[in-house]
Amino acid sequence: MKSRSPEIIVVSDMHLGSKKTHKKEFNKFLDYLKDEKDLEYFIINGDGLEFWGRDDAGVTLENADTIHKLMELNKSRKIYWIPGNHDYHLRNFRGHYYPFKFPLELVIKTSKIDYRFLHGYQFDPTEFEFLFDALCYTTNDSRGEMLYDAWKRFIRTRKFIEKFLLQPFYPKFKSDIKRMIRTPEERGIVDIVEENAKNSVKENEFLIFGHTHKGFVDNYSRIANSGAWFGNAPNTYLRIKRGKVKLEEF
């Protein structure tokens, strides 16, 4: 994809389907974007939906009104939904006839710089990608039950002999999951994620990520975070316009 200076809006970490989501505000934001005539791309940069400990079909139905608004917006803009760790199951939707595209990473090239988008769990040393599916397929909100259900689903995918070999690792698995289901702030890894993101920036690119729920723009390091619409976060988003990346609040 090549463009001289596209206008792009980036959001992340709404966690629609969770108790702490700011769904009402996000729906109003989508209505507001209808009048943004110059907007070319709208990017959900991961964790748009909350699948961990929830039934993914149920969560999708609960948020049918929001998805409908996105589909309406998609008629005149290009929408990309990048899977995060909490909606990792969306990566399986790639290649099907869905109204949005679900790339794990997206690059939009311009005449001056490339913008690279990914959720940001890739920079988090306390997250383990091979466990995301197990958590997306659990259907119990209770943390204790979620841990046990995730373990059962994880081990069910292994060969018979591996099940016995994996049993001694259950305590570590349990502690890993306990840590993963806490927010990045609670885990105290926000600074580490940001530092790892800085170190991953390639030549002639600007890196955009989410995951930490902390919005910011660092033009010197060429990285930015879109923040979150969840918990105590202030409903921030990134606007990329005329080559400038700016953090805004709705």
Residue that the structure tokens 């689903």 belong to: 153
**Domain extent at residue 34:** 2-125+185-249
**Domain boundary pick from 160, 180, 200:** 180
Do 105 and 166 fall within a single domain?
no
Residue 240's pLDDT band (cuts 50, 70, 90): very high
DSSP states of 203-226 as a string?
TTEEEEE-SSS--EEETTTTEEE-
Quote the crossing angle between the two packed helices 143-156 and 170-180, to the nearest 10°. Answer: 120
**How confident is the model over 107-119, as a mean pLDDT?**
95
Let me know whether 54 and 168 are in one domain. no
The model's pTM: 0.86
Residues 31 and 106 placed together within one structural domain of the fold: yes
- Strand boundaries in the chain, DSSP class E: 2-3, 7-11, 39-44, 78-81, 106-110, 114-117, 205-209, 216-218, 223-225, 236-241, 244-249
pLDDT at 161: 43
- Shared domain for 15 and 65, answered yes or no, is yes
Q: What is the mean pLDDT of residues 15-23?
A: 96
DSSP assigned state of 241: E
| pLDDT at residue number 171 | 55
- The per-residue pLDDT for 160 is 46
Please give the average per-residue pLDDT across 211-230, as a whole number.
98
Last residue of a domain, one of 180, 195, 210: 180
Q: Evaluate whether 173 touches 187 at the Cβ level (below 8 Å).
A: no
- Are 79 and 154 found together in one domain? no
The CA-atom distances, in angstroms, between 212 and each of 93, 187, 221, 236 are: 25, 10, 17, 13
The three-state secondary structure class of 168 is helix
Domain count, the chain: 2
**Shared-domain flag, residues 109 and 211:** yes
What's the CA gap between 60 and 136, in Å, rounded? 13
Q: Between 108 and 136, whose confidence is greater?
A: 108
Residues 107 and 194 in one domain: yes
More confident call, 126 vs 234: 234
| Pair 103, 206 in one domain | yes
Residues 99 and 154 in one domain: no
Least confident of 31-35, 113-117, 143-147, 242-246: 143-147
Same domain, 138 and 118: no
The answer to whether residues 139 and 171 belong to one domain is: yes
175 with 206, same domain: the answer is no
Q: What is the CATH number of the domain that holds 22?
A: 3.60.21.10
